[in-house]
Amino acid sequence: MSNQWELLILDDDPEIVEELSDFLDMAGYRCHGATTAQQAQELLASRPGIGIMIVDLCMPSENGLDFIRRQRRERHDARLLEAILLTGHSGEEQIIEALRLGVADYQKKPVDVDALLHAVSRAEQRLNDRRRARAREHQVNELQAQVVRDPLTGLFNRRYLQETLERELARIQRERSVLSVVLLDADHFKSINDRYGHSAGDLMLQTFARVLQCGSRKADVACRYGGEEFAVIMAGANAEEAKQRAEEWRQAIENLEVAYESTRLSMTFSAGIASYPAHGASGPALLRAADDALYAAKAQGRNRICLAEPPQTPA
């Protein structure tokens, strides 16, 4: 039965490489032999399935520990690379250095092939354990993403928006900086659903989301606020900066036509913007101010952006 991990055997003695390769091949491993560090490097680059290196400590081209150290540094995922050291010496300092590099096994020459097979088996088990752990980590991350992501658009959802807004506000207040919230709502969106169906509406929402993502800064947080309404948190941006960015989105959406079946769909949106500290000091206050500004944009004819009014102070 073939094992899932391929092996690299690096030793300047070709007879040792051949002997170990033949033995491990019979045990079900696919082995690749090299007698120089350059050959070994080329094999590692061309065979991503190599997970276990059996490396001679003393070679004329490159010290075995130096070779292992270099692979740990250059390998894309060094966690999925195990090393077994072959040595004719038992110097304590070299063994300690090997352990420091993550070499979990070393075999003395002349090599006891049965002991080497056990070492390879243990290395394979460690690799399998790490791969399973990484798969579980990936599953956990996927589940966490599903909790905070809108399944249709891939943007963050309303719950994440509210939590992030409060967290960012606390940070901005400590740093004495600014923050803006942009609420965007598709104009006459119901008419798209009514005329072309909900699949057409979903396509337009996904398109809207992509425009927001592509036009946002790395620090911006774009969310689907609900239905055809979206929100973007822009930490470090004042109202005018946020309005400029929103205007870029507005023009991009206005000029966009989306192919759907035998027709081409288009849409516009209206937006309201509120900023800290000018329009509110809390998340709910900023969202209310942005929503009022959005309502004003709708009332003024849609396809436009309005800034929130400063809160009125008591007379």
pLDDT at 1 > cutoff 50: no
Active site (annotated) includes residue 142: no
Mean predicted lDDT score pLDDT of the chain: 90
* Cβ neighbours of residue 165 closer than 8 Å, sequence gap 6 or more: 181, 233, 283, 286, 287
Q: Mean pLDDT highest for which of 134-148, 180-194, 213-227?
A: 180-194
Average the pLDDT over 154-180 and give the result: 94
Name which of 35-39, 91-95, 203-207 the model is least confident about: 91-95
Residue 313 CA, chain-centre distance (Å), reads: 46
Domains of the chain: 6-145 (3.40.50.2300), 158-307 (3.30.70.270)
Q: Strand 258-260 and strand 269-276: pairing?
A: unpaired
- Look at 26 and 138; give whichever has higher pLDDT: 26
What pLDDT is attached to residue 98? 79
In this prediction the pTM is: 0.61
CA distance 279 to 266: 33
User: Using 50, 70 and 90 to split pLDDT, how confident is the model at 315?
Assistant: very low
What pLDDT is attached to residue 89? 67
CA distance 59 to 37: 9
- Look at 90 and 159; give whichever has higher pLDDT: 159
Which one of 142, 228, 247, 248 is the catalytic residue?
Answer: 228
* Tens digit of each residue's pLDDT (9 = 90 or more) over 251-291: 999 999 999 999 999 999 999 999 999 999 999 999 999 99
Sign of CA dihedral 46, 50, 56, 57: positive
pLDDT at 92 > cutoff 50: yes
166: three-class secondary structure by DSSP? helix
DSSP 138-160: HHHHHHHHHHHB-TTT-SB-HHH
